[in-house]
Structure 1
Amino acid sequence: MMFKPFLRNAAIATLLVTGTAGSAIAQDNASGTIVEVATSTDSLSTLVSAVEAAGLAETLSGEGPFTVFAPTNEAFEALPDGTLDTLLEAENKAQLEGILTYHVVPTEAKAEAVVKMIEDDGGEHPVTTVNGAELTLSMEGENVVVTDAAGNKATVTQADVEASNGVVHVIDAVLMPEAM
C-alpha cells in the first residue's frame, strides 16, 4: 500500500494508516492527552520511556496546544549503539530533555496547515521548537519531511493523530538539535 501522510486533500488527510501492524495510532484516543495517546501506542513505547525519564510527561499532558513529531521505536533503534542508553541515564536528563523538546512545537499544526505553510513559504517552512531551536518543514513528493539543524531528515509516516492538547505526527527518525 502506498502511504502518503500529508495528502493535499484535507478530507483524506485526517486519518492515515501505515499498514504496519501496531504502528498506526487509532483516532479513538483523541480524548486523551499527547502522552496518553503515545502511551496507548506500542510503536511509541521508547518515546514514552524517554519522555518519562526526562520528566516531561506532566508538561506534555498539560494544556498545550502542542504539535509533536513523534519518533517511532525503530527511529530510536537507528541511533548509534549506546546513544539511547546513555541519554536515559539520570546524569543526562538535561540533554534528553533538549532532544525531546526539539520534537515539540508550541502550537497545533495539522497536516493541511503544515502543507499550506510549506507551499506559502516557497517549499520550506521553519518552525521554532519548545527548546528554542529550529526545524525546517518541506515536501518530498507527497510526504512532509522534517529537517533538523544538522541536515538530518525525518519523514512523517502518520499525520494528524489528534489529542486533547494538540496533534501528533509520527516520524521515522530522531531529530537532533545542533548543540547535541
Structure 2
Amino acid sequence: MTRRTSSYAAVIGVVLAASVFYTGAAFAETTVNVGGAPMYPSKNIIQNAVNSKDHTTLVAAVKAAGLVDTLMTPGPFTVFAPINKAFNKLPKGTVDTLLKPENKATLTAVLTYHVVAGKHSAAELMSEVKAGGGKATLKTVQGGTLTVVQDGRKLDIIDAKGDRSTVTIPDVNQSNGVIHVVDTVLLPQ
C-alpha cells in the first residue's frame, strides 16, 4: 500500500467513525432520571415505571388493580405518579388494605384518579392555570376532578379532599403520554 493510499484509508476510517458516532447521537433519546433510572420517551408508562426505585409501591398497586395493560396502550395519558414516600404518608395499613383483592375496586378508583386522558405538559398546565385565573380543573379517568394551581415555579395538584400534592419532577415523557412525579397520593371523594 502506498503512502497516499494509506492516508486516504486513514481519512476514510476517521470519516466513517465520525459518521457512526454522529448518527448514533442523532438517535439518542433525551431521558429524565426518576428513582435512579432513566425514563425513555420511546417506552410506555409501564416499561419506564418498573425501573424507578421511587415507584415500587405504585407499580405494585397498578399490578394489583389490573391496570398494567391499560397503561401500556397508546393513550395518551397524563399520570400524576406518587413516589413511595407519598404512599407512606397515608394512615398506617392503608396501602396493605388497598392491595387486598377484595378492595380492588377502591384501589382502581384511587389509581385512575391520578390519570387524565391526553398528554398535558407542565407548560400547558401552567398556561391553563393562568387562563383560568389561578387554577385549572382536570377531569380524571376515574371521573373525579383535580385542581391545578401554580406555586412559584412549581405546580400543585389539589384533590377532592383539598389535599395538595406538589409536582417534583415534571414532564417525564413516555411513548403513550407523560408522567409528572408527585409527592402526595391524590384521593377522590
| TM-score under structure 1 length normalisation | 0.85
**Residue from 136, 153, 174 that aligns with 1:163:** 174
In structure 1, the partner of 2:35 is 23
Q: Work out the CA distance in 1 between the residues paired with 2:32 and 2:138.
A: 23
In structure 1, the partner of 2:51 is 40
1:90 equivalenced with 2:101 (yes/no): yes
Q: In structure 2, list runs of 5 or more residues that go unmatched.
A: 1-29
Q: Work out the CA distance in 1 between the residues paired with 2:177 and 2:88.
A: 26
1:50 equivalenced with 2:61 (yes/no): yes
Cα 1:25–1:155, aligned 2, differ >3 Å: closer, same or farther? farther
Q: Work out the CA distance in 2 between the residues paired with 1:73 and 1:45.
A: 7
Q: Work out the CA distance in 1 between the residues paired with 2:77 and 2:36.
A: 20
1:133 equivalenced with 2:173 (yes/no): no
Cα 1:126–1:151, aligned 2, differ >3 Å: closer, same or farther? same
- Letter of the 1:155 counterpart: T
Q: How far has the Cα of 1:171 moved from its partner?
A: 0.1
- Letter of the 1:104 counterpart: V
| TM-score under structure 2 length normalisation | 0.81
Q: Work out the CA distance in 1 between the residues paired with 2:36 and 2:127.
A: 24
Q: In structure 1, list runs of 5 or more residues that go unmatched.
A: 1-13
1:148 equivalenced with 2:159 (yes/no): yes
- Letter of the 1:33 counterpart: N
In structure 2, the partner of 1:123 is 134
Moved over 4 A (4+): 14-17
CA contact (8 A) 1:16 1:159 kept: no
Identify, as 1 or 2, the structure richer in helix: 2
Cα 1:96–1:77, aligned 2, differ >3 Å: closer, same or farther? same
- Letter of the 1:156 counterpart: V
CA contact (8 A) 1:127 1:135 kept: yes
Cα 1:32–1:87, aligned 2, differ >3 Å: closer, same or farther? same
Paired residues, what number? 160
Q: Work out the CA distance in 1 between the residues paired with 2:32 and 2:133.
A: 26
CA contact (8 A) 2:156 2:166 kept: yes
- Letter of the 2:147 counterpart: T
CA contact (8 A) 2:168 2:180 kept: yes
